[in-house]
Amino acid sequence: SLACTSTAGKMNVTVRRTAARAFSTGTKGTGAVGVDRTRQSRPIDWSALSSKLTSDGARSEFARLRATYGEIQGLANTYAEPPSPIDFAGYKAKIAAPGLVEKFEAAYNGVSYPKAVARELDEVRQEHATMIADAEQSVADSVSRIEALTALVETMESNMVSPDTTLEQLYEVYPDLEAEIEAEIEAHEWGKDI
């Protein structure tokens, strides 16, 4: 389950990075970023990624991701080139209705398409920076906790009780123990901690 979560998180970051790379050119200072169709991405080693998955759920999501990627690649290949220009002169020669082709040509030339803008890119970058900062903090916390636990284990191992351990040695390790035992003896609480 942990491996599945970790792998899914890595795949999510990879997908976000790939999406961020797709929106690479733009206008400085405006925040408007256009799609750069000329940039080629690296091929994805699907078998290497697939071999790291451990659960059926992760494999299912991975297959869905791969299918979605295939669909996106197919659409990108289909629309990689702009459409061929319309031959209005040819239509003018073929269509006898006066002014019809001119109206279509005027309407066609009057259409303005909005430029693709990646406003989500800043949000993705901010989320990525937050995730990296959280991960670095978790690593730092884990390292300090490991050091503390290692020190505790060393202390416990060096102070292991054996049949040869004397009360004086126990009192050195646990100074409060002597006062507690003496108080129980004075109060005649012989079986208190048994």
143: phi then psi, degrees, rounded to nearest 5: -65, -45
Q: How far apart are CA 194 and CA 184, in angstroms?
A: 12
Using DSSP's 3-state secondary structure scheme, residue 184 falls into helix
DSSP symbol at 27: -
pLDDT tens, the chain, 194 aa long: 334 444 444 444 444 444 444 444 444 344 444 445 555 567 888 888 888 888 999 999 999 999 999 999 999 888 888 888 889 999 989 988 888 999 999 999 998 888 877 778 888 889 999 999 999 999 999 999 999 999 989 988 887 888 888 888 888 878 888 888 888 888 877 777 66
Residue 52 structure tokens: 């790291």
DSSP symbol at 159: T
Q: What angle do CA 36, 40, 42 make, to 5 degrees?
A: 135
25: phi then psi, degrees, rounded to nearest 5: -105, 155
pTM value > 0.75 = no
- Enumerate the β-bridge partners of residue 34: 25
